């Protein structure tokens, strides 16, 4: 019988991460709630969850409809935004330093939000502390089932892979589910299971770029969507930060 150390990455401890935010634009979105979850490896699940007071920002009605937090509720229940960003970043860095991959649905969104929030509040960004290894079920599913019918939201993927998702759009529930999801995907597809997480991370950089190039090309040749093509970013798992150009 093999020991845990001899088994593949799906049997080891994973760190799930999820945010609920104010916007779909990672450059301007503010964190409303965030969760960092430690899952698997033969131990019980442990979770840390934060609520931010938004740092003076507002939650639009359309965002409230998704995650349920109003501006008033966040300001009442939340802690200072700068402290929340520091603690989330520190928790992610600690997981990376302990050798755990970060499991994040649509990673380039969540990691970019955290990066921009850190810069907004003078917090040292995650990428300046550590070099995370990331597993993204969105990228992985598009690789192993490119032409599968159906959507690819977290809820869609959980239904497809028969993974429980209780309380969708709660950052903690989503972070727990995303770990279970990639674990199940890894055990189902040999192309994922046979790689180390470090190798899988590097493969995803290329896979994500190919997937986004295909999306960009689709927009460019589709009447009425041509303008969308220019907004498709190719980088993964973090959109590079560019200093704003100052007006003279």
Residue extents of the structural domains in the chain: 4-194
pLDDT at 243: 78
- The pLDDT score that the predictor gives to residue 2 is 42
Confidence at residue 160, expressed as pLDDT on a 0 to 100 scale? 94
**Residue 52 forms beta bridges with which residues?**
79
Tell me what pLDDT residue 248 has. Answer: 52
Q: Are 164 and 158 in contact (CB under 8 A)?
A: yes
Q: CB burial class (10 A; 0-12, 13-18, 19+) of residue 234?
A: middle
pLDDT tens digit at each of 248 positions of the chain: 344 444 689 999 999 999 999 999 999 999 999 999 999 999 999 999 999 999 999 999 999 999 999 999 999 999 999 999 999 999 999 999 999 999 999 999 999 999 999 999 999 999 999 999 999 999 999 999 988 888 999 999 999 999 999 877 789 999 999 999 999 999 999 999 999 999 999 999 999 999 999 999 999 999 999 999 999 999 999 999 987 755 55
Domain 4-194 in CATH 3.30.420.10: yes
């Amino acid at each position: 019988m093999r020991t845990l150390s001899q088994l593949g990455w799906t049997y080891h401890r994973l760190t799930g991460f999820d945010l609920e935010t104010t916007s779909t634009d990672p450059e301007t979105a503010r964190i409303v709630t965030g969760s960092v979850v430690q899952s698997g490896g033969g131990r019980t699940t442990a979770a840390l969850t934060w609520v931010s007071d938004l740092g003076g920002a507002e939650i639009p009605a359309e965002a409230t409809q998704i995650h349920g937090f109003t501006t008033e509720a966040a300001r009442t229940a939340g802690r200072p935004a700068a402290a929340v960003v520091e603690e989330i970043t520190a928790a992610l860095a600690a997981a990376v330093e302990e050798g755990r991959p970060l499991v994040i649905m649509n990673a380039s969104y969540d990691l970019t939000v955290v990066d921009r929030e850190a810069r907004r509040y003078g917090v040292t960004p995650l990428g300046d502390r550590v070099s995370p290894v990331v597993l993204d079920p969105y990228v992985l599913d598009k690789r192993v089932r490119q032409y599968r019918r159906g959507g690819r939201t977290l809820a869609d993927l959980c239904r497809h892979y028969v993974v429980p998702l209780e309380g969708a759009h709660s950052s903690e529930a989503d972070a727990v589910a995303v770990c279970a999801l990639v674990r199940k995907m890894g055990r189902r597809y040999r192309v994922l299971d046979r790689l180390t997480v470090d190798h899988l991370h590097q493969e995803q950089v290329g896979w994500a770029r190919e997937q986004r190039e295909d999306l960009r090309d689709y927009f460019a040749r589709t009447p009425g969507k041509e303008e969308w093509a220019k907004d498709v970013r190719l980088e993964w798992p973090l959109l590079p930060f560019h200093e704003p150009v100052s007006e003279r």
